[in-house]
Structure 1
Amino acid sequence: MRDVIPQDEFKQRRQQLLQLLPERSMALVAAHSEVTRSNDTEYPFRQNSDFFYLTGFNEPDAVLLLINDNKPRSVLFCQDKDPKHEVWHGLRLGYENAVETLAVDSAEDLETLPERLPELLQGIESAFYPMGENSVLAELVGDARDELSVKARRSGKLGPQSLSDLRPQLDSLRLIKSANEIAVMKEAARISTQAFRRIMCFVEAGKQEYQVAAELHHEFAMNGALQPAYGIICGGGANACVLHYTDNRDPLQNGDLLLVDAGAEYQGYAADITRTFPVNGQFSEPQAILYNLVLKAQQAAFAEVKPGSNLVQASEAAARVISDGLTELGILSGDADENFKEQRWKTYFIHGLGHWLGLDVHDVGRYRNSDGEPIAFKPGMVLTVEPGVYIPESADVDSKWRGIGIRIEDDVVVTADGFDNMTADAPKTIEEIETWMKSQ
């Protein structure tokens, strides 16, 4: 699939952000730098999501300035071309090519930024940047302000008197996905769904959890998603009760369930799927009972994914199903209404129902407004819906339930009249899973 987010859209995003800023202000967003893995080798480079959202530029060590004065404009500072460096590490765009390629208004050599920033900040009243994320950027802004303060006695030109966090404005833009973003995310979901179909035909007793992760990664990469969006979770048996289990080092056992939580990252955007299925291709009766309970909870949550509803209402719908089900099974004792009211179900459903999804797997965006009220769903929001039940081996319940962990997770985009499940093609019902595992 070709790149589907054109430069015009990145330019439009920059213009939208400028419109959210007050007059005589500047926003600064920095690219990530490469990170040393060991000695003279680096981890695979992954761009800062905010910087990528505004530029589509995937090189390290760059800074974007958005200046809102009498002539609103974008200025990119990036690394210059360097043939000696490029022969070892690959081509750079270079600032002289950035204007045409990235549709920014101007571009300059990154090395000149410490000298140029005080000049650009003259007359600027407010500076915005993502606070707490990049100490180098914060130091650059602080040094430029100090320099302007010293010079102000003679020049009369002050620097910004206000420093503010840029994330509220950026997060609000990123929360609503464009049609192009949704198209990319659907491709990430398609690749991930295909990978889940692959592993359901691969697993069997005696294979290792890490081999399942390798099959997923292979399918991702063969379809253009070179990296997983996050650390792959492959938890067999009781390992599924560890929410962020990433050791992936144990053998698969006959009779156990395998919980797999994984998603491809495609063109910067994440998918995030969880499926739980039997190693031997056949659910036992206790496994099937708990599995159908979690599936029923997800369906209840889906009914609340629509404009005007919110994540709190969806979470309560799922929790009510799980609470009542666990009470009926005797896993929770006492009255069903009291168990729900006292949130005793949280002993076994121990995480939230879902989260925003986008350039980050746990994407940006508030869940409540400044008054503490839940943010209402709007078309273009993308989120996961992932109820689960986890009963550790130490639980004081009937032994047939112990060591079972189940989570079912799909990626949905809110539409004008409900939602679109982008990961629906990953087998999910017991019948679908067992039929698919037997057919290959």
Structure 2
Amino acid sequence: MTMESNVEGFSREVFADRRKKIMERLGPAVVVFPAASELIRSNDTTFPFRQDSDFYYLTGFPEPDALAVLINGESEQFFLFTRPRDPKQEIWTGRRHGPAGAREVFGADEAYPLNELDSTMPKILSNVDRVFFAFGKQESWDRRMMGWINQVRTKGRRGAVSAPTELIDAALVVHEKRIIKEADEIDRMQRAARISADAHTLAMKACSPGMTERELQTRLEHCCLSRGAQAMAYETIVAGGANACVLHYVENSARLNQGDLVLIDAGCELDNYASDISRTFPVSGRFTKTQRRVYEIVLEAQSVGIQSARKGERLHSVHSSVVHLLAERLVELGLLDGDPERHARICLKSAETPDEDAREERLEDGEIGLHHYYMHNTSHWLGLDCHDVGRYREAGAWRRLEPGMILTVEPGLYISSEADYAPEAYRGIGIRIEDDVLVTEDEPEILTESCAKSVEEVEAACQGR
């Protein structure tokens, strides 16, 4: 295999550049990141391994239980502790890179087998003032890290060395770097988005009354994996009829019925980068008049939200614009009574207004509000994690959007089959429309734009046109 293929499609220089930029921001310090561990699924079988996103971002190293150490002292150094080569074990569980591969393929300046951690780490941590570590991810690593530091402190009390005086959460720095995507990351996410968009369109064409939700799930996932995705980015949701009113419905076991809608929320992962798409379409190929009315409200709300995802806008403006549109349209539709602006303010808990009186607004006892139909936020960051890292607020205020940020825009309306406060014709309708949006210097770029979305496009796809 080539060097590039061993690093899952990226050259090792990409990871070296990320490490360099991180260390330049930190100054003299040691940064420590553990890899993920394999997790037991049942008895002696494990879940498919997925590398810790921060560890992968800095190293590209794909194996479990490793430890990355970045040292910024007189020079910048990158150390990796890995599982050793073990020909007998590798027959059963696959090839390992070992310390030699860590140096040759992944660019480590020094690499050691894991059994040398306890003898080497206290030396690395000696005479260092600032240590950045990913606290809280794995309790076992937290304990080991504090054990090494305490060994250094013990020597420090004898005057032999000095111990670290600052322990800082490494995630704070890495996550703020990850939130702004570089060109190679955007390329991967564009490709993942195209694969997922094609899979959703295929599902529209494949769907027919009498199929099970699981059958539709397998068609979509097969399309993603056969097109080069390594995995799905999260558990696929295929929710027919009233099941779509359960936001994270994953049973996927019911039959799809004539006259119902089906909501699919699914996205693939390519080189560990996620896509995230939701589409809702008619099982029979055509929206009913009532379904279409609700669908077009959600579609209009999403369009307003996407147009708010611009450089310099505050993140909350995406959600706020969606909420105001939904409130207005639901009053017009008769699903809400009263002033739509009041409904929007209450739904947003008045986060966007300084009016103290507005903050005290509440629904009257028994009054139906927008949150009865729309109970989640409109956006989340997207990247190496489906719900990606990075702060949503800075100094208490919603942060401003910057070029290179990628977020979802995913409004929905969910009218439970048990919602006796809604007209019967609307009960059991659940609709969500979700796209992945890149903030640019100019217009928002919809990475998932190729996926059918308008009523006409969706019906055409469902009918195989």
TM-score (norm 2): 0.92
What percent identity do the matched residue pairs reach?
A: 39
Q: Which runs of 5+ in 1 are unaligned?
A: none
Equivalences for 1:181-196 in 2 at 5 Å?
A: 181-196=185-200
5, 11, 22: which one aligns with 1:6: 11
For residue 261 of structure 2, what is the aligned residue in structure 1?
A: 257
8 Å contact kept, 2:36–2:64? yes
Work out which of the residue numbers 409, 431, 434 in structure 2 matches 1:409.
Answer: 434
1:303 aligns with 2:328: no
1:387 maps to amino acid: P
Q: Is the 8 A contact 1:4 1:184 kept in 2?
A: no
RMSD: 1.4
Find runs of 4+ consecutive structure 1 residues off by over 6 angstroms. Answer: none
* 1:399 pairs with 2:424: yes
| Aligned equivalent of 2:245 | 241
CA displacement, residues 69-122 of structure 1 (integer Å, 9 cap, x when unaligned): 222211111111111111111111110121221122221111101111111110
Cα distance in structure 2, aligned partners of 1:104 and 1:188:
29
**C-alpha displacement at 1:7, in angstroms?**
1.1
Rounded Cα–Cα distance in structure 2 between residues aligned with 1:364 and 1:341: 28
Does 1:373 find its partner at 2:400?
no
Unaligned stretches of 5+ residues in structure 2: 348-368
Please report how far the alpha carbon of residue 291 of structure 1 lies from its aligned counterpart in structure 2 after TM superposition: 0.3
CA contact (8 A) 2:306 2:437 kept: no
**Once the 2 structures are TM-superposed, how far is the Cα of residue 16 of structure 1 from its aligned partner?**
1.2
Deviation at 1:432, TM superposition (A): 0.5
Q: 1:426 pairs with 442, 448, 451, which one?
A: 451
Partner of 1:35: 39
Residues 52-77 of structure 1: per-residue CA shift (max 9 Å, x gap): 00011111110000112222211111
Residues 1:128 and 2:132 aligned together = yes
Q: Tell me, what secondary structure is at the counterpart of 1:327?
A: helix
Q: Secondary structure at the match of 2:461?
A: helix
Q: Which moved more, 1:3-12 or 1:214-223?
A: 3-12
Structure 2: how far apart are the matches of 1:205 and 1:99? 55
Q: What SS does structure 2 have at the residue aligned with 1:341?
A: helix
Cα pair 2:199 2:223 within 8 Å, conserved:
yes
Confirm whether residue 356 of structure 1 aligns to residue 402 of structure 2.
Answer: no
1:4 Cα shift? 4.5
Mapping for residues 154-165 of structure 1, pairs under 5 Å: 154-165=158-169
Contact 1:79 1:94 in 2 (8 A): yes
Distance (Å, rounded) in 2 between the aligned partners of 1:250 and 1:357: 30
Answer yes or no: is 1:387 the counterpart of 2:392.
Answer: no
Equivalences for 1:206-225 in 2 at 5 Å?
A: 206-225=210-229
2: distance between equivalents of 1:75 and 1:237? 53
Distance 2:37 2:459 in 1: 46
Q: Following TM superposition, by how much is the alpha carbon of 1:179 offset from its aligned partner in structure 2, in angstroms?
A: 0.6
CA contact (8 A) 2:268 2:276 kept: yes
**Whole-angstrom distance in 2 between the partners of 1:157 and 1:224:** 51
Checking the alignment, whether the CA contact within 8 Å between 2:311 and 2:442 is kept in structure 1 is yes
Q: What one-letter code is carried by the residue in structure 2 that aligns with 1:416?
A: E
Structure 2 match to 1:322:
326
Mapped pair 1:17 → 2:41: no
Contact 2:31 2:131 in 1 (8 A): yes
1:216 CA displacement: 1.3
Q: Distance in 1 between matches of 2:227 and 2:371?
A: 38
Kindly state the Cα deviation for residue 35 of structure 1 after the two structures are TM-superposed: 1.2
Task: Map residues 269-308 of structure 1 onto 2, 5 A cutoff.
Answer: 269-308=273-312
Answer yes or no: is 1:48 the counterpart of 2:52.
Answer: yes
Counterpart of 1:339 in structure 2 is 343
Distance in 2 separating the partners of 1:421 and 1:102: 33
3-state SS in 2 of match to 1:397: coil
The answer to whether the Cα contact below 8 Å between 1:237 and 1:404 also exists between their aligned partners in 2 is yes
Letter of the aligned partner of 2:334 in structure 1?
G
Q: Distance in 1 between matches of 2:176 and 2:282?
A: 41
Q: CA shift at 1:357, angstroms?
A: 0.3
1:375 Cα shift? 1.3
Please give the alpha-carbon distance, in whole angstroms, between the structure 2 residues aligned to 1:58 and 1:148: 31
Whether contact under 8 Å (1:11, 1:104) holds in the other structure is: no
8 Å Cα contact 2:9-2:271 kept in structure 1:
no
Letter paired with 1:377: L
Once residues 198 and 431 of structure 2 are traced to their aligned partners in structure 1, the CA distance between those partners, rounded to angstroms, is 21
Q: Which amino acid aligns with 2:176?
A: S
Instruction: Quote how far apart the aligned CAs of 1:226 are.
Output: 2.9
CA gap 1:132/1:380 in 2 versus in 1, 3 angstroms? same
Q: Secondary structure at the match of 1:308?
A: coil
Match for residue 205 of structure 1 among 200, 204, 209:
209
**How far apart, CA to CA, are the structure 1 residues paired with 2:297 and 2:175?**
35
Contact 1:380 1:413 in 2 (8 A): yes
Alpha-carbon shift at residue 155 of structure 1 (Å): 4.1
In structure 1, give the amino acid aligned to 2:426. W
Code of the residue aligned with 1:77 in structure 2: it is: F
How many pairs align? 438
SS at match of 2:164: coil
1:298/1:387 contact within 8 Å kept: yes
Distance in structure 2 (CA, Å) of the matches to 1:307 and 1:287: 34
